[in-house]
Amino acid sequence: MVSPTTDEIRESLPSILTYKSKRMLHGIEAKRRGIPVEETEHQIYLVDHADRIVTAFGLHDRVYRKLVALVYPVMYKDQAPHPRPEVFEPLWHRLYEPSRNIELREGQPEFLIKMMSHPCGRFDCPPGFGKSFMIGCIATLLPKARIDVVTKSLAVLYDRLYPEMCMTVPNVGIICSKKKVRDRRVMLLSAGSVHHADGKADIVIADECHELAADSYAEKLAVYDNARMYGLSATQDMRLDNKDMRVEAMFGPVLYRMPYEQAKNSGLVVPIEVLWTDVIMNFNPAGEYEDSVERKRWGIWRNDYRNELIAADANQYGDDTQVLITCETIGHMVQLKKLLPDYEIVYSENGMSALDRRKYIRQGLLPKDYEPMSRSKRDRLTRDFESGKLKKAICNKVWNVGVSFNSLAVLIRADAGGSPTNDIQIPGRASRIAEGKDSAIIHDYRDQFDTGFRNKATRRGRTYGKQGWTQVLPKKKSTGRPQDQLSTHDFGARS
């Protein structure tokens, strides 16, 4: 709350407390409205009964800097102090007790110091930094604090965070669709289950906090009215819908960043090299379609020529090299599976219907004896890939988070995506360190046959460049298939 609020303040602050969200329009809606993007203005402030500007606490630093720029003296007073301030006093000696066997890596002490000395804030660290480990350290440092950990991903919560926390921190509970253990000092909650929280936590830590800007999650997080809020992510301020100010409002400014280059030089992650392949064709298989799904179906997923280039890249690597191909849809996965029969496909147990499975088998995309995906099968494939036993796999977003592929040496991006968040998160799966692993290779594709797909590839390249990853462009451009060799079979049967 800003008080008193002068006319100058009333005119100046709204501009820094307002943002425009973006929603991409597709197909018929985009054509009907004549615009590709819908923008909606949001105000993260209100004017109260006493004519004072009131906003979310996470924006306090933004407001403070603006008032100072306007040459106002600023005094801060906490009108609602925490009833137990002693719970925020870190006991640093606990981290170094021999029985705990805690060894902090470079950057992690600074991370903890920043969090312990600020009432809210966000932390931007690359995959492999050890965010899960940091949460355990925070619980150790603050033994009197009630801590709620929130994440959108059920896989991260149930399969990784919960077992790891139970091994390092006493008194851990969980609330999600799979398991409920209540009334513990440290509670792990899925974002969809936050409405079951009692709201009495002293500290809330949001893993992958950028995902919680959606209306449904942000509303549920309002149950915490007296907690210190902290957000962890490898992709802060990169949402395509431009709702990053909402994330800042909930969790505060970015207090700590570790660039990928620093993490690499510190030995926390391996160097990444991106190898680009040009996809040049004599006509655009997506050109006649306006709907975005149809364009991707014929330009990407069922583009036989492009899929053959991907398969050729995958076949460069021997049986001992672990390779992962990432796709957007199951339909694309089975197209690649036909070209790479030795690769396992991994997706959600509810992802492929019996009808689709029979269709894929009938079309020769899956073997006749294909075993449908179940939870136990997916868990087995995940364990085998994490351990390095399984060397070749094709997956969709089911492996986006909640997995640790330390031995992964080669990742092939077949998805042709356009999300800056995914452009860091997906290649980041190959960044983890392992014995005998000195680098990771990412294959990506410049789809030159279509302006939209080409622009997405250009944006991916920019994101890779900002991370400091080495990029190798094609030495010799492919000439594509001659026009007289093209047929409808080249892009999948349209039946």
Express each pLDDT in 286-342 by its tens digit.
Answer: 999 888 899 999 999 999 999 999 999 999 999 999 999 999 999 999 999 999 999
The mean pLDDT value of the chain amounts to 91
Average pLDDT of 63-76?
95
Predicted confidence (pLDDT) per residue in 245-293, tens digit: 999 999 999 999 999 999 999 888 999 999 999 999 999 999 998 888 9
Predicted confidence (pLDDT) per residue in 111-142, tens digit: 999 999 999 999 999 887 888 889 999 999 99
What pLDDT is attached to residue 25?
82
Radius of gyration of the chain (CA): 25
Predicted confidence (pLDDT) per residue in 375-394, tens digit: 899 999 999 999 999 999 99
What is the distance between the alpha carbons of residues 185 and 227, in angstroms, rounded to a whole number?
14
Q: Provide the percentage of residues in the chain whose pLDDT is more than 90.
A: 76
Average pLDDT of 46-51?
92
Determine if the peptide bond prior to 341 is cis (ω within 30°). Answer: no
DSSP of 335-385: HHHHH-TTSEEE--TTSS-HHHHHHHHHTTSS-TTPPPP-HHHHHHHHHHH
Give me the CATH code for the 85-95+104-259 domain, please. 3.40.50.300
Confidence of residue 30 (pLDDT cuts 50, 70, 90): confident
What is the distance between the alpha carbons of residues 333 and 430, in angstroms, rounded to a whole number?
20
What is the distance between the alpha carbons of residues 379 and 392, in angstroms, rounded to a whole number?
16
The CATH class given to the 270-491 domain equals alpha beta
Please list, in sequence order, all residues whose beta carbon lies within 8 angstroms of the beta carbon of residue 308, skipping any fewer than 6 positions away: 339
Predicted confidence (pLDDT) per residue in 205-224, tens digit: 999 999 999 889 999 999 99
Confidence of residue 476 (pLDDT cuts 50, 70, 90): low
DSSP H helices, 192-303, are 215-221, 244-251, 260-265, 292-296
Q: What is the pTM of this model?
A: 0.88
Q: Report residue 13: phi and psi, to 5°.
A: -65, -40
Per-domain boundaries in the chain: 7-69, 85-95+104-259, 270-491
